[in-house]
Structure 1
Amino acid sequence: MNARFGREGTMTYAELHAHTNFSLLDGSSSPEAMVEEASRLGLRALAITDHDTLSGIVRFGAAAETAGLQAITGMELTIGNDPYSPTQPGQGVGAISATEWGRSTAPVGDTDQGTSHLTLLAETLTGYRNLCTLLTEAYQCGGRDTPWVPFETLARHATGLIALSGCPQGELGQTLARHGPEVGMMVAARYREAFGKENYFIELHRHGLPGDGARNAGLQEVATRLGLGCVATQNAHYHDASRAQLHHVVTCIRHGTTLAEAGAHLRANDEYRLKSGAEMARLFRDECTRAGSDPRRDPVRTTLAIAERCTFTLHDLVYEFPKPRLPNGESALSFLTRLVEAGKTVFYPDATAEVDARLRHELEIADQLGLSGYLLVFKEIVDWSQSQGILVSMRGSAPASAMLYCMGLCPIDPLEHNLLFERFCSPERREYPDIDLDFPHERREEVIQHIYTKYGRDYAAMVCEVNTYRARSAVRDVAKVLGLSATRAQRLADALDRHDDDPLGRLAREDVHGRLAEILVDLSRQLVDSPRHHSIHVGGMVISAEPLAMVTPIVPARMTGRTVLPWDKDDLTILAEVFDVHLIKMDLLSLGMLSAIGRCFDHVASLTGERLELHGFRYDPRVYDQLCEADTVGLFQVESRAQQSFLPRWRPRNLADVAISVGAIRPGPGAARAGEHIVRRRWGREPVTYPARELIPALRETYGVLLWQEQCIQVAVIAAGYTPGEADQLRRAMSHKRSTEQMEAVCEEMVTRMIDRGYDNETAESIRAMVVGFAGYGFPRAHAYPFAHLALISATLRLRYPEAYYTALLNCQPMGFYAPHTLLWDAHRHGVRVLPVHVNHSAWPSTLEPILPEPVANREPVGAMHHIAIRLGLQEVHGLGPAAREAFEEARATGPFTSIADLVARTRFDRERLECLAEVGALIGLPTGDTTTGSSTDRRATAWLTGELAGFGQGHLPGLADQLVTRPALAPMTDWEEVQAEYRTLGYAPGRHAIAYLRPSLVAQRAFTADSLGKQRHGRLVRAGGLVICRQRPETAGGVLFLTVEDETGLFNAIVQPPVYERLRRVLRGEGLLVLEGPLQLNDGTVHIMVRKAWPLRPETPTGTTRSHTGELVGVRSHDFR
């Protein structure tokens, strides 16, 4: 049978040049779609050759593995044309200067005259490694946005690669078009010399364009004269013609133009798709005829020969985690054992047989899985961090390890809290367990750079994050391509509701553009989920014993000092599960609360001499009362609206209770109303039931409700007879995004095993439903305990050292649920004095400042902390910006400012910055600098003076203020105007709340204060108003909107059901000051207004003013969460 034909007589063919949507804003089909279409067409193999990236090869390889299609790894690499090559002046071709050659600014998929494209295929593992090395060097040479390599670098790394001459943007194609076959032969000969005659092929295309035949004839002539083979490719940019229009759209996005104006940027037709062997045989009939009997010159048959040679697959990759440094004569296991035994004497001074057995078991598993060196590497990272004064905590499943506890890596005792080691590590998983470390957000970079330094930049890189198009970004970009204005495009995007089942469909129904709306929606749907750009993963880092370029390219990140892999965390999972290649991702995460706790520890140490530590921290027992009262603003993990609703009903009294609170407010358990059932069962309002008696030990702690991932494992072990490792594999399988068929297969096995163990169908199905409904959403129990630990530390610090705690929170913003104004007003409610910003008393950050002692109600003094206040820093002033910090600190270093004129002269602040300072009262009491007025006492007059000083000139002669014209008589600012100015410029008015000034209007509307709502009757129709500080519409809440509103007495929460939200959407989303009306819901200490009506809070005349300026009040914006 002819080798070119399959069993049914259809022409066989391998596509060796194809792009996916990982050729960012050029390819328009996913790797999976390309594989599916290639399989449908009966292609022998498919090569993905994305522009200057290997980002899509893992997904491509996995899809091909499933489809039974040969996957060829390749890339279209950008080459910097050598200015001294035969194509230069004096050698036949004209002018590309060396400067132009190295300056490629063309977008992906295009070239300028200084660069060209070359299609490269990995024939062997060596070739793949050279591909990675070339791409790594391309980014080093050309930078993140314009990678390219010089020809000499290409030639040095040609082994194991098959090169195709490329598309018309290839050097050969460009040269032939401009200078003819003679010069083209010189170019091709150079590539032949670099790759060898058997590894360099002339690439032919046919896309139904004028000149295709003549170009191919010229290319074939070059091939014949040089004895080179020819290959037919499609240079496919989408899987079928249905994606051609999207290809036009992404091309326009890339070029920043519209379809109407794109012109020659767009491809001329929809022929850049995958085609069958029969189609390719027809297209290239003339080229095949010219080839005669020479198989190397038959462009279709050659594709099969090349595919057969390309034996590399991702299964061939080899990766090794670095080995730790060990003391002389020690193995990794012996050193680990010695460290664990030493830690046992500290953390378990009276170790029981249970402790010894647990540690012995864990060390045996570590030895069995070869984890000793891995754990020691983490130990070194933690030890180094602590030696630098950097706090370290841990999350995820790793706190379940008693070994790690004994080595000081985690502050939670896993035996005391019955944490399941198998959730962290088990023999059945045969992989390195995840260890997630938390660091203060401002110091994590020190740890990352330490790792780069220790292991070398060729051996370490961050994991990338693939940012994809979502409905809003797709609509915005597609609308602009269709010719809508940027304003209109943004308005359409903003109108989409992420909670709508089909937001794009709704847009099509509601938009007035008719047919244009249909086109917009259709193209946007196609664009959704396409890669948009790459960024750095939140904390994932890979280190290797060998240079990473042996496995993956290394790409420079936009962040200085960082490099990234082209693969994201899901790719690493696929590599492990499909290809058995385990790149170890260390998660080095930043936690804002650790920053705040660390700073608070520093404040406490400087004021009291007491050095607090995460390990062994003792909670103040009074914090549980505060939690039960939902007094949690500014506390870690328990400050949200959902927590404030749950805690008074749950009534936590210990660490385990707080851990359950942390675990209950999660998407999975929340969606299943786990928290509600646990509360009701705890207090006898609902019977405690279990699916089977055998599951009582696993579910007793949570009253028969599945809350923890460990419980998921235990249920599978007890009910279905899984080993702990098998059960964790089940949990992971259920948590991944799988097809319906895959999920049914996973669940069917579980049900079968339960029935085989004697469970009836009804019980087996109820257990299956419990596990499936939960999997993938809940916390590991081991994760919740360290978070609960930090929650109780934050609560204790706030209770005992409130000034230090709130100061630390301010200096760590943004973080948490609440903006600084809410935190500061909460501090005020807790008896903390807050001093205003002042240029001579404030530093750039907020600080602690001694004050005269004053009795504080409801507050027990703690040593020196009783005589301390918070002095707001200049960083709190909106409009100054970080650039002003250096100028301010340099000026203040020489002494206090003696006058406003002195301030202007030494800081050189512009008018806007000076007026901001004047508006918030930061210049009050500062002499004006003239000889007639004395000190500044009124903000309006001071603002006028600073504006005049700033505008007078930068010479700043002595007596500058005296040289100004006579100042006009200006009316002093009223209290309300000062409050408005402070909210607008500072976000907060120290000691004053804006809603207090609007209270007469609220009283006139019969509105209650926040602190009085809890005293009203359940179900009563009430009104309340204030400043909206938080909006939440979580996906698991079925479209319900939750509001948190602040007035001068506290916070209250409101619930808006979907029909009411639809009716009041505009006011609820667009107004910062609201009055809400609805029946009051009281439930075990929680208070909500079930909103029926809402309107803006716009009083006619606030107290103390002659006119209303409330529209200018809110320089404060709500924190909106999903």
Structure 2
Amino acid sequence: MESEFTHLHVHSEFSLLDGFGRIKQLVKEAKDLKMKSLALTDHGVLFGAVDFYKACLEEGIKPLIGCEVYVSPRRLDQKEGNIDTNPYHLVLLAENNDGYKNLMKVVSEGFIDGFYYKPRVDHDYLRKHHEGIICLSACIGGEIPRLIIEGQLQKANEICQMYQDIFGKGNFFLEIQDHRMQKEAQVNEVLIDFSKKYDIPLVATNDVHYVRKEDAEAHDVLLCIQTAASVDDKERMRFPNDEFYLKSSDEMSRLFIDVPEAIENTNKIAERCNVSFDLESAHLPEFELPEGESSAGDYLRKLCETGLKERYQELTPEIKERMDYELDVIHSMGFDNYFLVVWDFIKYAKDHDIMVGPGRGSAAGSLVAYGLDITTLDPLKYNLLFERFLNPERITMPDIDCDFCYERRQEVIDYVIRKYGADHVAQIITFGTMAARGAVRDVGRALNMPYNAVDKVAKEIPMHPGQNITIEKALEENSELRKMKENDPEVSKLLDMAESMEGLARHASTHAAGVVISDKPLMEYVPLYRNGDMITTQFPMGLLEDLGLIKMDFLGLRTLTVIRDALENIKHSQGKEINLDNIDLEDSKVYKMLSKGDTLGVFQLESKGMIAFMRDLQPEHFEDIIAGISLYRPGPMDQIPRYIENKKSPEAITYLHPILEPILNVTYGCMVYQEQVMQIFRDVAGFTMGRSDLVRRAMSKKKIDVMDQEGEVFIHGEVDENGVSIIDGAVHRGVPENVAKQIYAEMKDFAKYAFNKSHAAAYAVIAYQTAWLKCYYPTEFMAALMSSVMDDEKKVSKYIEDCRKNDIKVLPPDVNVSYDKFSVKNNKICFGLGAIKGLGKNAIVSIVNARESGGPFKGFRDFCEKVDLKALNKRMVEGLIKSGAFDYTGSTRAQLLLGAERMVDQVQREKRDRLAGQISLLDFGGNSSLKEDFLPDVAPFTKEQRLALEKEVLGLYVTGHPLEKYENTLKEKTNLNSSMLDSYEDLRDSGIRDGGAVIIGGLIDDIKNQITRNGKLMAFMTLEDLYGRLEVVVFPNTLEKYRPLLTVDHAVIVRGKINYNEEMNVSVICEQVYPLSLKADIPQVKEERTVYAPSEQKEKLVIHFTDFTQKPLLKEIKSVLMKTPGQVPVELHFEKEHKKFGADKNLWVSVCDELINNLEAILGQNKVEVLK
């Protein structure tokens, strides 16, 4: 019979890039090995504690929560290189809940005060927080083992007894390990002797870093990834053998057959360890009520009623009923305090003129949030549902996400910290994981495979933002990738190894917006982590919610900063104060602008595809913007042609049943929103809204068993055990059974794509506000827009081009007009001083203060005299001159550059003299001081020289462009420019996919040469076009062929292929180079030219299916379509159901005989047609 054993020294993937064991796999393996308990002891962290706890409970295994902490050789405050950089290891296990709290404190302290290369604690801190903790002396990295290896046996003896003293007799164990290492044998011999001498119990462990023995190679590759090494590097960090896995009880017993008590003690420790996590209670912050208020619920009601009276003037029965219902649900779920907390910090922001968004997410469906001024869109008017936000039939934490001005978001967080205490508030950790493509590249580098071979494999894995395309899924869908794996053992090994890494936690970072606030100090509930200067939780947001902690999102939205600056610009330039909450959301002038596609800079509506969509849609009402934001996404995009067609011909709209018309008429008969799915459940079948939301969630997550069960209820209803009807069902309500089934099938198919209308509506408000500002105050709006992207030269260039198209003049900086940001004067935009490279904040403040206190600068000398030249050095003055900031003086930039240093020196000397009490000749009517006519008489710069100087200091051209004479040539001869690469969506909408053929043109701005592994020269080139910059990669053979053309400032046209990486950074692989001239003769790339615009398509490929039973053929058809990419849209027609679906744009094709033949081979003759 196999003896029992418990692993007490186990590392998971949360020992980042060191542990290879996924938590669920470790726990499953322990169960398969018939173990009753298992510990988790990651290096220095408790990242995986809650996941591990839950996984163990699911498998019926007892979880032991621990950590292998790092112990500083000296005090925590001592941080000296070569002494404090290599701390000792020590294993700590929580014996009970008090011990777990102490363990959290120890682990948190390691990051908060002890971090020095690693999170460290010292002996004193352990002594203060030892209660309830069982300590093991750790591996050969432990303090006692290291001293033994160094031969310091007396010191090891003293430390041994010190730990016994810290943790108490029976709570400290000497840990012995056997991974077939000579040093371990040396250490074990001494530890066994110490055990006998000092009556300290032994415990046997295996230093588990992966699950099974065969995982050793993958773990070795992971170490290579961590250390940026390859498996061929002889000097790299590596484990000595393959013994660091989760061994069976029998294997461990055989290893320690001479010390059976060391095995027995693992189970004794496991029996003693009893930690339980409270996954039921909530720990929401307590809102301090004003004097005289008795309860949070009553105060919330009072605030809500007051706010709604201001909103509606009169509380009608409908409003009162909805308010009472929501308040009752909020109170019954225990969230009164939560709403007051959110109300309070939103109020603080608005009281301090910090721009706050109109709402975000499902909270926009709450009338209470509207009454509290948390949201600003009327949920009753737009039919937004409270249950989509808070479902009384599904107890979850509320989630009100808040958008703030990007520049002042931190002020709101600081307020919350002051109000609730720094120890009650923290930001939230998040973990970056290894995605499919990244894993392939990482593993390829570690295996020392050729870059091109790895790149070819990685490129076969499709990429879509927001979608996790796994290697398994890629192999399933991509026949080319399957062939590569089947035919090449090296590729097969690469993909298998990468698949084993996929999804592993790679690094910890801080969630962009999440903040947690608790009723007690956070360390009572969660360990803390340091990320730079920021303290975060060690658990991500989902697990914080499991522990009853509330997460709030404080998002910095750059568009709100744009709106704020635009309103300020309007106030300064026109003297008007605009309140955007009062503008008409149905202004026809705004919708005409949107319909023309003039949406650059308009929130959510400025991508190339969205511009084309707006032109086709011709929006006329606010509901059209809500629908547009909801539809323009992968999946729902297939509904766009039908939506547009129905909008143009409302008389042709048909409904499966009249009961659907009031629900779907707002979207022209199309199902667009999650809320519509919920309403159909309620109105057609009699579901409660709470249960409707539960079924909608099940549909979106494709829970087949739930969908099948609820489908029957939807059609035929449900009764309780006494036969009393709970839900009527559609048939009982007069809907024919076949129609009910069809309605349910449509919902089931669409629910996974349906969008949250509350969120779309809230964001549609911001979209409309920016559109309104662009429509009525375009100059002020564009100035604010450019200020928001001042550090992004490509975007500034794009917006300047948009200004040019709309007859808005953009001027260079001017010291008499400009501020830090772009500003408006006389209906023209003046460049911001903050855009000038090297001109710091202090210099800008000095210029603006001098101008405002002493009046406009009369000339260059007057400028030098008035500004504080201590804040403005000569290099900064030259930057101002080069940018054009002194053009108002009438002197040329060439004159000013040559004479500036002399003038600055003279003025500084005069200032010093005055301070020293000396009187210059000028004071007696003399004329020794330099005046404006001191400037040398030199020829002005040529246009090219002037533009080059602007580019040098501003990063772009302002008063012209070297390529403007080639503008028409570039439009005719190229199919890609830098403005099309602002986002993956823009690239997708251009019709050019990864690997697609492109022609680009521009000036060579920079070339960096690099030696390849084979000793050949390649280059990375930056090409500047009329809108920004493009990165071009030139491989050795191409570089050698075209080297004479590839010089800086040379105008060229490049033919090549698009290449984009995991971060969606786009470059072009150069294949051919031509000189750019007005008569450039360049072969066209016709098939890659079009941008999404449904009305411009002249043909489409239609594939006919008999009915939905043929859906399993879609995978095979998809594979065929992907082999002939092009610009012809594809439609799928299911004849029996009378359904039409547009294929995603990445499946559009080039029509050819081979394509038709391949499709008909799957579906049969006459099933494929091309319609003109």
* TM-score where L is the length of structure 1: 0.78
Hey, what does 1:598 align to over in structure 2? Answer: 564
Distance 1:547 1:715, change over 3 A: same
RMSD: 4.5
CA contact (8 A) 2:818 2:832 kept: yes
Which deviates further from its counterpart, 787-796 or 321-330? 321-330
Hey, what does 2:386 align to over in structure 1? Answer: 421
> What amino acid does structure 2 have at the position aligned with 1:311?
N
Distance 1:1093 1:487, change over 3 A: closer
- Indicate whether 1:750 and 2:710 are aligned: yes
CA contact (8 A) 1:319 1:544 kept: no
In the TM superposition, residue 59 of structure 1 has moved relative to its aligned partner by: 2.6
Spell out the pairing of 1:370-381 with structure 2 (5 A cutoff): 370-381=334-345
Distance 1:910 1:78, change over 3 A: farther
Local SS of the residue matching 2:307: helix
Local SS of the residue matching 1:339: helix
- Give per-residue Cα distances to partners, 1:917-948, cap 9 Å, x unaligned: 56544454669xxxxxxx4345xx87788899
CA contact (8 A) 1:1076 1:1093 kept: no
- Give per-residue Cα distances to partners, 1:667-719, cap 9 Å, x unaligned: 3423xx12332222222399645555554443332234332122233344456
- The percentage of counterpart residues that share the same residue type is 27
Hey, what does 2:797 align to over in structure 1? Answer: 821
Hey, what does 1:1119 align to over in structure 2? Answer: none
Hey, what does 1:192 align to over in structure 2? Answer: 164
Local SS of the residue matching 2:148: helix
In the TM superposition, residue 412 of structure 1 has moved relative to its aligned partner by: 0.6
- For the residues of structure 1 that align with 2:43 and 2:266, how far apart are their CA atoms? 20
- Indicate whether 1:326 and 2:324 are aligned: no
- For the residues of structure 2 that align with 1:654 and 1:117, how far apart are their CA atoms? 65
Query: Which of 514, 523, 537 matches 1:549?
Result: 523
Hey, what does 1:1105 align to over in structure 2? Answer: none
Query: Which of 600, 619, 627 matches 2:594?
Result: 627
CA contact (8 A) 1:639 1:817 kept: no
CA contact (8 A) 1:144 1:556 kept: no
Local SS of the residue matching 1:537: strand
- Give per-residue Cα distances to partners, 1:1021-1078, cap 9 Å, x unaligned: xx87765433655599799538999999999xxxxxxxxx999546995289997645
CA contact (8 A) 1:556 1:564 kept: yes
Distance 1:518 1:309, change over 3 A: same
Spell out the pairing of 1:327-342 with structure 2 (5 A cutoff): 327=290, 328-342=292-306
CA contact (8 A) 1:260 1:483 kept: yes
Hey, what does 1:401 align to over in structure 2? Answer: 366
Query: Which of 676, 684, 687 matches 2:649?
Result: 684
Local SS of the residue matching 2:508: strand
Query: Which of 211, 231, 251 matches 2:203?
Result: 231
- For the residues of structure 2 that align with 1:48 and 1:735, how far apart are their CA atoms? 34
- For the residues of structure 1 that align with 2:990 and 2:257, how far apart are their CA atoms? 59
- For the residues of structure 1 that align with 2:595 and 2:1026, how far apart are their CA atoms? 16
Hey, what does 2:819 align to over in structure 1? Answer: 843
Query: Which of 216, 225, 248 matches 1:276?
Result: 248
> What amino acid does structure 2 have at the position aligned with 1:936?
T
- Indicate whether 1:139 and 2:125 are aligned: no
In the TM superposition, residue 22 of structure 1 has moved relative to its aligned partner by: 1.0
> What amino acid does structure 2 have at the position aligned with 1:666?
R
Spell out the pairing of 1:1030-1069 with structure 2 (5 A cutoff): 1030=981, 1033=984, 1040-1041=991-992, 1064-1065=1057-1058, 1069=1067
In the TM superposition, residue 552 of structure 1 has moved relative to its aligned partner by: 0.5
- For the residues of structure 2 that align with 1:203 and 1:1082, how far apart are their CA atoms? 66
- For the residues of structure 2 that align with 1:135 and 1:828, how far apart are their CA atoms? 58
Local SS of the residue matching 1:263: coil
- Indicate whether 1:529 and 2:521 are aligned: no
Hey, what does 1:1103 align to over in structure 2? Answer: none
Distance 1:564 1:1046, change over 3 A: farther
CA contact (8 A) 1:73 1:313 kept: no
Distance 1:120 1:617, change over 3 A: farther
- For the residues of structure 2 that align with 1:1046 and 1:652, how far apart are their CA atoms? 36
Hey, what does 1:292 align to over in structure 2? Answer: none
In the TM superposition, residue 134 of structure 1 has moved relative to its aligned partner by: 1.1
- Indicate whether 1:611 and 2:577 are aligned: yes
- For the residues of structure 1 that align with 2:417 and 2:250, how far apart are their CA atoms? 52
- For the residues of structure 2 that align with 1:105 and 1:523, how far apart are their CA atoms? 36
Hey, what does 1:90 align to over in structure 2? Answer: none
- For the residues of structure 1 that align with 2:899 and 2:491, how far apart are their CA atoms? 54
Hey, what does 1:857 align to over in structure 2? Answer: none
List gaps (5 residues or longer) in structure 1.
1-8, 84-97, 289-297, 576-580, 850-866, 928-934, 1008-1022, 1052-1060, 1095-1122
Query: Which of 19, 22, 27 matches 1:27?
Result: 19
- Indicate whether 1:61 and 2:53 are aligned: yes
- Give per-residue Cα distances to partners, 1:63-101, cap 9 Å, x unaligned: 333333322221111112347xxxxxxxxxxxxxx98x6
Local SS of the residue matching 1:183: helix
CA contact (8 A) 1:891 1:906 kept: no
Distance 1:1085 1:630, change over 3 A: farther
Hey, what does 2:833 align to over in structure 1? Answer: 874
Which deviates further from its counterpart, 16-25 or 989-998? 989-998
- For the residues of structure 2 that align with 1:237 and 1:755, how far apart are their CA atoms? 53
- For the residues of structure 2 that align with 1:819 and 1:11, how far apart are their CA atoms? 68
> What amino acid does structure 2 have at the position aligned with 1:749?
Q
> What amino acid does structure 1 have at the position aligned with 2:673?
W
Local SS of the residue matching 1:465: strand
Hey, what does 2:772 align to over in structure 1? Answer: 796
Distance 1:68 1:889, change over 3 A: same
CA contact (8 A) 1:901 1:960 kept: no
Query: Which of 401, 407, 411 matches 1:446?
Result: 411
In the TM superposition, residue 472 of structure 1 has moved relative to its aligned partner by: 4.9
Local SS of the residue matching 2:404: strand
Spell out the pairing of 1:871-910 with structure 2 (5 A cutoff): 871-877=830-836, 880-881=837-838, 884-890=840-846, 893-894=849-850, 898=860
- For the residues of structure 2 that align with 1:492 and 1:445, how far apart are their CA atoms? 43
> What amino acid does structure 1 have at the position aligned with 2:804?
H
In the TM superposition, residue 551 of structure 1 has moved relative to its aligned partner by: 0.9
Local SS of the residue matching 1:447: helix
Hey, what does 1:1057 align to over in structure 2? Answer: none
- For the residues of structure 1 that align with 2:705 and 2:793, how far apart are their CA atoms? 41
CA contact (8 A) 2:513 2:556 kept: yes
Local SS of the residue matching 1:117: strand
- Indicate whether 1:659 and 2:659 are aligned: no
List gaps (5 residues or longer) in structure 2.
718-728, 852-856, 914-927, 1003-1023, 1028-1053, 1061-1065, 1071-1075, 1077-1081, 1101-1123, 1128-1172
- Indicate whether 1:265 and 2:225 are aligned: no
- Give per-residue Cα distances to partners, 1:446-486, cap 9 Å, x unaligned: 11111111111111111112112234544554455445899
- For the residues of structure 1 that align with 2:985 and 2:898, how far apart are their CA atoms? 47
- Give per-residue Cα distances to partners, 1:380-418, cap 9 Å, x unaligned: 111111111111121011111111111222111111111
CA contact (8 A) 1:925 1:937 kept: no
In the TM superposition, residue 659 of structure 1 has moved relative to its aligned partner by: 1.0
Hey, what does 2:322 align to over in structure 1? Answer: 358
- For the residues of structure 2 that align with 1:1050 and 1:969, how far apart are their CA atoms? 31
Which deviates further from its counterpart, 391-400 or 315-324? 315-324
Query: Which of 1029, 1036, 1048 matches 2:980?
Result: 1029
Distance 1:714 1:73, change over 3 A: farther
Local SS of the residue matching 1:428: coil
- Give per-residue Cα distances to partners, 1:564-604, cap 9 Å, x unaligned: 1112234345x2xxxxx322111111111111111112222
Distance 1:829 1:206, change over 3 A: same
- For the residues of structure 2 that align with 1:428 and 1:105, how far apart are their CA atoms? 59
- For the residues of structure 1 that align with 2:70 and 2:511, how far apart are their CA atoms? 26
Hey, what does 2:96 align to over in structure 1? Answer: 124
- Give per-residue Cα distances to partners, 1:300-332, cap 9 Å, x unaligned: 222222222222133468541111111224211
> What amino acid does structure 2 have at the position aligned with 1:397?
S
> What amino acid does structure 1 have at the position aligned with 2:842?
E
> What amino acid does structure 2 have at the position aligned with 1:66?
E
